[in-house]
Structure 1
């Protein structure tokens, strides 16, 4: 299972692509809205968090295609 992380700052931009994303991905979950996220050293969970000064909406897109 591939995991994609999509960082979108603009809500309108997400709405614009939402149907497109839902068409190709089976599960979209809003993880959190944040100002800072610590970078994880454990890469086994395939989550890569980066420091940002502004708020981002973090979406994890699960794809069943390897």
Structure 2
């Protein structure tokens, strides 16, 4: 089992994405800008070595 090094906000953003929330909805919920949320998601992709959000969700075992 691989343990991925994601920050709490990166993990949280991926979780919200897995539940079908949009970047704008996540930004409102987290009190961040949409650009910040996109940045967190992009960093998560890099950390996971994923090329898409779907692949990232599969790697961290979030429901989709």
Q: TM-score, normalised by structure 2?
A: 0.32
Greater strand fraction, Structure 1 or Structure 2: 1
Greater helix fraction, Structure 1 or Structure 2: 2
